[in-house]
Chain A
Amino acid sequence: MDAAWIMLFAVLAPLATGLLTLLLPRESITPRVLLAALGPLVAFGLLWVGSTQIYEAAAVHVAGHGGHAEVHHASGASAYAAIPLPTSGVIPWMTDLNLDLAFNADGLSIFFSLLVSGIGLMIVLYARGYFGPDKDSLFRFYPTLGFFMTAMLGIVVSDYTLQMLLFWEMTSISSFLLIGWDRYDKKAVKLAMQAFFTTGLGGMGLFGGILLLGVTTDIWRWSELTAQIGQIDLADPWVIGAFLLIFIGAATKSAQWPFHYWLPGAMAAPTPVSAFLHSATMVKAGVFLAGRIMPAMSEITLFPWLLIGLGAITMLLGGVIAIQQHDLKRIFAYTTVSQLGLLMAMYGLGAITYPHVGNDGITHLLPAIDLDLTQIANHAFYKAPLFIAAGAIGHFLSRDITRLTGAFYKFPATCLVLLLAGYGLAAGPGTISFQAKELFLYAIYHATEVSAWFWLLMLMTIVTAVCNVAIFVRLATTLLGLPGGMGAFAVPDHDDHHHAHPPEGGLWGSLIWLPGLLLVIPQYVGGLFPGLWNSVFMSGERFAFYESFAQGVPSVWYLVAHPGVPLYCSLAAIIGGVIVGFLPHLRRAVVDVHDTIYPASYWLAVTGGGRVFRMVQTGRLRQYMLIVLFTFLAMFAGAVVNDTRMIEVALVALGDLSAWFEYWPGLLMGMLVCGSALCIPATEIRVVRILLLGACGFAVVGIYLIYRAPDLALTQLMFEIISVLLFVVVLRLLPRDQPQSHAGRPMRIAVSVAVGLVMGWMTLLAATADRPIDDSALLGTVFAQNSYYGDPNSALLSERGGGGSNIVNVILVDFRGWDTLGEVVVLAIAALGVWSLLPSRRKVPTPA
């Protein structure tokens, strides 16, 4: 089977099985769990198969082109330009809209998709442990989770930009459903709205960016972007704007400052969702996107600084707020914010190049980025277990860290997971996080060669690491009941989502901590046996630039044996973290000021919007008319300013009318029209006004007759009769006319006169302007030629005519019959409106 179809099925598998679980009876829980688990499992397998196929095909292709994937490293100039993005075949969908289905399989995509489906499988199992045998929750949970998984898988493997946007918005919707899981909790629903609006805003930015990029550079596929990065004019402000908009999408999705507030707010979701959201989905979508546009960003000087600056602020802020929280989920949420900032800064660093003398004695320009997948994966492998264990402990005891003193001795399994994962959070030696943090510090250290400002980034990273270590120290001392734990200094925290259900025994009961344990194992495998880690992730790594690390993640021993500034920084962070962890300071639960951003903007939008609305929507027809006419005048003024020839042409056309008296019948009728129109405001009596309006119409009929348009004249005549009849009837229904104030009358007169003059001007231009096309190609000429018999020479290439000598009617019912059909339908709809608004008042004649 074609690889593209395999990938498509893989993406849709979680959603499909999620929906299939709905068919099972509510009571059958075990089949439901197994069916739901089948989705990510199938996805994992299909992605493996599909991506291998794509990758092999791409490798053959690259080999045919001289294998430039290997050459790019040594080429020196642009380290990214030649990295090919292997893409599978295209499944045609909406080709005209630049939206087909195609799937990528480079390291970033495969890594993310396997991460999503793998952790997704664990989450499915954990949900069984978390919700327990609550059949209603599970019934509702699995389809939504499947939707979320499909959306996330779609993002990472999509090749077409619009295709990715589609899935991107799907994650917003599904996360909204999941965060607002507890429908009866108003706070949760509000927080879901907050997350939806914030990430939706970014989605709009991404949409705009994709469209702008597509329109200016005609790039609608990520693979095209990577392949043609050299051909794009990256100095074009529109292109820069496009990338800026795309970056806004990435920044809101991955909770960068100042948009990070939605992520701790998303804690209202059930813990399985939090674990999934923080480790593999949603927030990582932004990081993924940053990685996708990486090659382009490195060429624009603004971007690295933007990414690094924003990422650094987010990183520091997340860390500092995290240690001052009491709810476990909030603590971990802010560490996620912090880690996301780090990842953003990492991709920013990737655009900073520094000179490096290689083993061959040649100086290369290398980007200060390394092993990006390791950076992302290590976070997933401690954050998901942390959340899983936090949710479990919240079930058994409480999620408030001040109430967990000595919890280890009551629930050893769950707390063990918590501690193991917490050690990963602290980036202690022995976990892959340690090496990852070390690599990041190396990247910063190399970047300091370019600018001294990076020492500030180094400092911020150390402070963040201190916070992470301190969190682990407090967690460990609290859980183990050692001195220095959070219990002794505890300040009661009321933000407690404790909802206990009796612990289950057996396999199903263990599912509340077992997935966490399974997920935390790679942390230690990677840390202790980096060779094993490298054998999995190295094939996908795009940015393995340091010669010392070119073989993959180094071992702890290697790092210790080759001490340098980064190692000392790590050491300083660990020592500082232990000290801060035992200090009695910084233990209050602080409120993040950014939490007010959304409520404030919401208030502003609702209240301010209401005020503007009441200003504009007064309910007075006269004012609406004024707005419409003013807009019209403004647009016309703009057109005139834009094209001053309009004035000259009109003056010339007026000058040509020196023999105006030859047109006296038309002029007379026109004067009649104007005269009766001018009389209308002079009288207050409605019937007279209606009759004057009729007089206008009849004078127009006269004009039509003079210029030999009998059809128009007839139509206008009948229309005038009917409308006068209708008006007379309606008039009698209206209430008595109230004397009205004459305020603002001069302005209305001025506007009316101006609009009249402009209309005349436009008519003059339309009637006298030079046509850019030949007379024989005019629609009027073509219609006239084809009215009765088809003209073989006509532009319409019609082999037959309309069969009628009355052109107007032939146009109406034949040439433009489509229009007429539409008009007739509109008329019928209007009549339906009248019939429903004015119910019949006829008394049904009672049979005598």
Chain B
Amino acid sequence: MSTIILRISMSLILPIGLVFALYMAFKGHNEPGGGFIGGLMAAATLAIFRMSSGAAELDKLLPCHPRVLVSLGLSIALATAVAPLFVGEGLLRSYLWDLNLPFGESLHIASAMFFDVGVFLVVVGICVGMISRFSEELEL
């Protein structure tokens, strides 16, 4: 599968794909996108990268077991969900902050964004993990 054309072009596609995935994940609150879509996108990019460049390259790019991503993502999501309980609010209660930045810009942050990040990480971890496990069976 690892043709030279695909491998060379992957070095271009990979950063764009990952950045685009992040972009999709973060703009999700106001426009089409979201953690799930972003996660799938990043996973697809990484999967194709693994096919073209091999498992060793992916290991260099992602120097941890995918389950670390999954557990990190789950922890973030859970923490976001549970956090309001500590201030006496209901589970998953969301908060909004508007930060005023210099140069007249402002940043609109919803606490649900952290939840979305958690979902993103879980999806990436699962997809990458599954695909590499199945691929390993092939590469025996």
Which A679-727 residues sit within 8 Å CB-CB of chain B?
A: 710-711, 714-715, 718-719, 721-722, 725-726
Report A584 CB to chain B, min CB distance, Å: 81
Task: Say yes or no: A840 contacts B136, CB within 8 Å.
Answer: yes
Indicate if the CB atoms of B136 and A841 lie closer than 8 Å. Answer: yes
Shortest Cβ distance from residue A284 to the other chain B in the assembled complex, whole angstroms: 50
| A800 CB contact (under 8 Å) in B67, B71, B74, B96 | B96
Nearest A residue to B135 via CB reads A729
Inter-subunit contact B37/A711 (CB<8 Å): yes
Contacts of A834 in B (CB 8 A): 129-130, 133
Nearest-Cβ distance from residue A494 to partner chain B, whole angstroms:
63
A803 on the B face (CB < 8 A): yes
With a cutoff of 8 Å between Cβ atoms, the chain A residues found around residue B126 in the complex are: 827-828, 830-831
How many Å from the CB of A844 to the closest CB on chain B? 12
Interface stretch of the complex, out of A179-187, A513-521, A811-819? A811-819
Nearest neighbor of A812 in chain B, beta-carbon distance: B34
Q: Which A residues from 778 to 826 make CB contacts under 8 A with B?
A: 800, 802-806, 808-810, 812-814, 817-818, 820-821, 824-825
B94 in contact with A718 (CB, 8 Å)? no
- Complex: A800 Cα to B110 Cα, angstroms: 12
Given contacts A809-B28, A814-B94, A733 and B134 within 8 Å (CB-CB): yes
Flag the segment in B5-13, B99-107, B116-124 that touches A: B116-124
In this complex, the interface size class of chain A, counting residues with CB under 8 Å from chain B, is 35 or more
Residue contact B40 to A718, C-beta cutoff 8 Å? yes
- Binary contact readout B29-44 vs A (1 if CB under 8 angstroms, 0 otherwise): 1111111110011011
Cross-interface CB contact of A828 among B29, B74, B135, cutoff 8 Å = B74
CA distance A790 to B119 in the complex (A): 25
- Cβ of A767 under 8 Å from chain B: no
Min Cβ gap A446→B in Å is: 67
Q: Which residue of B lies closest to A715 (CB)?
A: B37
Does A562 interact with chain B (Cβ within 8 Å)? Answer: no
- Which of B110, B119, B137 contacts A802 (CB under 8 A)? B110
Q: Which residues of B contact A814 (CB under 8 A)?
A: 92, 94, 110, 112
Bound-complex Cα distance A812 to B55 (A)? 34
Q: CA separation between A714 and B44, bound complex, in Å?
A: 13
Are B47 and A725 within 8 A (Cβ)? yes
Q: List chain A residues, Cβ under 8 A from B22.
A: none
CB distance from A204 to the nearest CB of B (A): 37
* Most chain A CB within a 10 A radius of its CB, from B55, B67, B73, B94: B94
Report whether A813 and B34 are in contact in the complex, using a CB–CB cutoff of 8 Å.
Answer: yes
Query: Which one of A725, A817, A835, A841 lies within 8 Å of B112 (CB-CB)?
Result: A817
Contact: A841 with B130, CB < 8 Å?
Answer: no
Residues of A near B48 (CB, < 8 A) are: 725
Task: Tell whether B4 is near chain A: CB-to-CB under 8 Å.
Answer: no
A285 to B118, CA, bound (A): 57
Q: How far is the CB of A808 from chain B (nearest CB, A)?
A: 7
Q: Residues of A contacting B66 with CB < 8 Å?
A: 831
Interchain CB contact under 8 A, B131 and A726 = yes
Central interface residue in B32, B41, B78, B131, by most chain A CB within 10 Å: B32
Whole-angstrom CA separation of A818 from B91 in the bound complex: 8
For B94, the chain A residues whose CB sits under 8 A away are: 802-803, 813-814, 817
Quick check: B133 and A813 within 8 Å, CB to CB?
no
29 example contacts (A-B, Cβ-Cβ < 8 A) are as follows A710-B32, A714-B32, A718-B44, A721-B40, A722-B40, A722-B131, A725-B48, A729-B134, A729-B138, A732-B138, A804-B110, A808-B34, A809-B116, A810-B29, A812-B34, A813-B29, A813-B112, A813-B115, A814-B92, A817-B81, A818-B92, A821-B115, A828-B74, A828-B122, A828-B126, A835-B67, A835-B129, A841-B139, A842-B136
